[in-house]
Structure 1
Amino acid sequence: MNKQSKYKAFRVEEKDGNYISSIKEIPFTPLEKGELLIKVHYSSLNYKDALSSIGNKGVTRNYPHTPGVDAAGTIVSSESNKFKVSDQVIVTSYDLGMNTDGGFAQYVKVPEDWVVKLPENLTMKEAMTIGTAGLTAGMSVLRLSEIVKPEDGPIIVSGATGGVGSLSITILKKLGYKTVAITSKETEIEFLKKLGADEIVLRKDFEKMDKKPLLKSRFAGGIDTVGGVILENIIKSTHPMGVVTCCGNVASPKLDLTVFPFILRGVTLIGIDSQNYPMTYREKVWNKLSKEWKNDQLTEAADEISLNELNEKIALILKGKLKGRTLVTLEV
């Protein structure tokens, strides 16, 4: 067990209806049966973390709270039969960082059922460059690739400069798919080309597409991260027997569609629930991300920050101005 009595955490507190974040010292609490205490080496910044930090009650109900839906570290104390002290592990999603104190801290206490052993071919830094965003991208690509093959045509990816979108493009490229990236950021076209996107479409143009129930089929499949009109137009533009996955609703949770893409073209829409994805599939995706899907330049495009720099990056992600992955280092 760690000999310290307290540890540092990025703590969000509610004061008179305002949400204020600062670095605080938090006391350790005893482990219960099946729990692990993990010394966090790296976390990463996700959109949910930003929402939690500004008091979004749909993400976090009670404050004070420590956000951080991702963590990679070393077990320092264990009340589990599955894991032992010194195991290097990954924790992503479930309730971590939402209503359970998360990875923006030097230590996290979690149930054993949330934990995956760090694959041999991944460092903790690489694992957090992947994080929930990469796991979600991996889940999306896995489901899509079960039905659609590279020779079937291009895959369109929305929110392409974000974590899920950018990592989806790199995995798809690795597997031989041609990709079309949707972005609202004209300044990031070169960034998307460097990721491997074969074509870039501006969001404003894609949203203005015809309101007809069906559009000209252009894509074998799609990975959507934003919802709303973008998802509608992806579905309406997908080839017969194509596949579209969806994992986000930042644009809108609503769809204004007819059933025609589904019953006239046989398009399949697959929802991706990264929060509660079954452990068997999580381990399968992590295994692929550490081997055949691994990007050798994985950490090159990642921005590494400390807890003290989180507020600045949170402000950027909430404005839609953050690209790629942002790592949070807890190493001293």
Structure 2
Amino acid sequence: MSSYLALWVTEEPEFQQQVVERAKEELPQGDVLIRVKYSSLNYKDALSAMGNKGVTRKYPHTPGIDAAGVVESSNVPEFAQGDEVIVTGYDLGMNTFGGLAQYIRVPADWVIKRPQGLSLRESMILGTAGLTAALCVEKLVRAGLRPSDGDVLVTGATGGVGSIAIKLLSQLGYSVVAATGKVEQQADFLKQLGASQVINRAELLEGADKPLLRPRWAGAVDTVGGEMMFNVIKALNYGASMACCGLTAGTDFKGNVFPFILRGVNLLGVDSVELPIVVKASMWDKLSLQWKMDLESLVQEINLSEVAEAIKTMLAGQQRGRILVRVD
């Protein structure tokens, strides 16, 4: 096959997304050519598809920060034709043509062989969102969080990272409180994932004018950022930690030092994009073994032709769980 189908984002006269046929020769240079079987839709993909120049500088472009598929050709000994592989993060789908296409060509040091405990489909139900959620949980556990410590808060609970974090924390025995702006519509869904309680995110903005709040949380996974993030920090128990990985509520917040110097709390930053490949591989192994989850209840499967509509739903804040994109 000399051509392939891809989601193609064009800039003029306005940003539009459509599935087009492309020539494989137009793919960027790289060590490994991969026939993509599955991708997923992430918030960053939606931003890229709508022309956010902070994500993608140059158009036309194919988004997709996740891809799982089969090696078609390789010029490095680490990968051979027929290997099943995963690519997440680095520059994929940002300024390098991404996984919302039937083919990608990437550097070898972006590629991980599929762990035996995960299928290609399962790996993309997880995708960057699942990898990020697991990294958040691992940082909290390493900081000393135990199931007996009390409630663990997850913000942005219905999103990809939030929903998987709830599932994983619950599976590990933690008491999880899910925060969402859609309590009436999504409480049952979140409780099915393992949340013991569902609260309105508006509660987390109360007392924003106070330097500290009553201790309430044994730990937190924050996927939204903004003012809500620091308000949660002010309500962490003594010595507790928050893992922070998102910005949907904003990139700025007004803070003070009191939670850190009076309660000894920790703000733990989490990045899954530029993480060293050996660390990514280790976490993928963990997600395929001791942290493996059944995520079918939170996934919606679509094909390439349905991605443009799914992007609108995601940017409107109406998406729940994960969107798996069947590419092949």
2:93 to 85, 94, 97: 97
**Is contact 2:28-2:105 (8 Å) kept?**
no
In structure 1, what is the equivalent of residue 251 of structure 2?
253
Q: How many Å apart are 1:204 and its aligned residue?
A: 1.7
**Which of 11, 26, 40 in structure 2 is aligned with 1:44?**
40
Equivalent-residue separation in structure 1 for 2:95 and 2:217 (angstroms): 39
SS of equivalent to 1:91: strand
1:265 and 2:281 matched: no
Q: Is the 8 A contact 1:42 1:330 kept in 2?
A: yes
Residue identity opposite 1:38 in structure 2: I
Aligned position for 1:193: 191
Letter of the structure 2 residue corresponding to residue 290 of structure 1: S
Q: Which runs of 4+ in 1 moved over 2 A?
A: 29-34, 208-211
Contact residue 28 and residue 106 of structure 2 kept, 8 A: no
In 2, Cα distance between the equivalents of 1:204 and 1:250? 15
Counterpart pick for 1:146 among 135, 139, 142: 142
Q: Which of 233, 236, 245 is the matching residue for 2:234?
A: 236
Deviation, structure 1 residue 33 = 8.2
When the two structures are superposed, what TM-score results if normalisation uses the length of structure 2?
0.97
Contact between 1:159 and 1:224, CA under 8 Å: does it hold in 2? yes
Residue 205 of structure 1: which of 198, 203, 217 is its match? 203
Tell me whether 1:311 sits opposite 2:308 in the alignment.
yes
**2:9 corresponds to which residue?**
12
Q: Map 1:57-206 to 2 at 5 A.
A: 57-147=53-143, 148-186=145-183, 187-206=185-204
Separation in 1, partners of 2:146, 2:297: 29
Helix, strand or coil: the match of 1:221? strand
Structure 2 alignment gaps of length 5 or more: none
Instruction: State how far apart, in whole Å, the 2-side matches of 1:224 and 1:305 are.
Output: 28
Q: Name the amino acid aligned to 1:302.
A: V
Distance across 1 between alignment mates of 2:249 and 2:297: 29
How many angstroms apart in 2 are the aligned matches of 1:13 and 1:269? 39
Moved more, 97-106 or 228-237: 228-237
Report the CA distance between 1:205 and its aligned residue. Answer: 2.2
Q: How many residues are aligned here?
A: 326
Contact kept, 8 Å, 2:175 with 2:195, in 1: the verdict is: yes
Which residue number in structure 2 is paired with residue 216 of structure 1? 214
Q: 2 CA distance for matches of 1:323 and 1:121? A: 26
Name the CA distance, whole Å, in 2 between partners of 1:75 and 1:51: 28
Amino acid aligned to 1:209: G
> Contact (CA 8 Å) 1:220, 1:238: kept in 2 or not?
yes
Point out where structure 1 has 5 or more consecutive residues left out of the alignment. none
* Contact kept in structure 2, 1:34 and 1:80, CA below 8 Å: no
Deviation at 1:32, TM superposition (A): 8.7
Q: Deviation at 1:99?
A: 0.4
CA RMSD across the alignment: 1.4
